[in-house]
Amino acid sequence: MMYRLVADAAMVVHFAFLAYLALGGFVAWRWRRTIWAHLAVVAWGLVSIVTGVECPLTLAEDWGRRAAGLEGLPASGFIDRYIEGVIYPEQYTNLARLGVAVLVLFAYVGYVLRRQ
């Protein structure tokens, strides 16, 4: 039971992380200091896409699932299990990434304009 809770908590935190990646720049419009946390999240997102390094949340969820006797995550990880093919078709992965990048850039432009 405890391992399943670890896996489920990691999954929920992962979704929250991705939501903050996409929308956290807008949060910084209201709470300016959060821009530093968002920059770190965006940097991690870029590093994970460019280098393919596994996210610790993916590792934690996979460990919890396997320890609970469930099927682990696929080798490609969290995104392939819960996002690609569920929220959007796999062939649109790069378009979805571009959409998130545009959203983040728009939020940063708004952040800069609101500071002036």
pLDDT in tens, 101-110: 999 999 999 9
Name the nearest CA neighbour of 57 among 82, 36, 37.
Answer: 82
**Reported confidence tier of residue 78, pLDDT bands at 50, 70, 90:** confident
Q: What pLDDT is attached to residue 73? A: 85
CA distance 105 to 116: 17
Task: For helices 93-115 and 2-30, give the axis angle rounded to 10 degrees.
Answer: 40
Domains of the chain, by residue range, sit at 2-115
Quote the pTM value.
0.89
DSSP string, 57-88: HHHHHHHHHHHTTS----TT-HIIIIIBTTTB
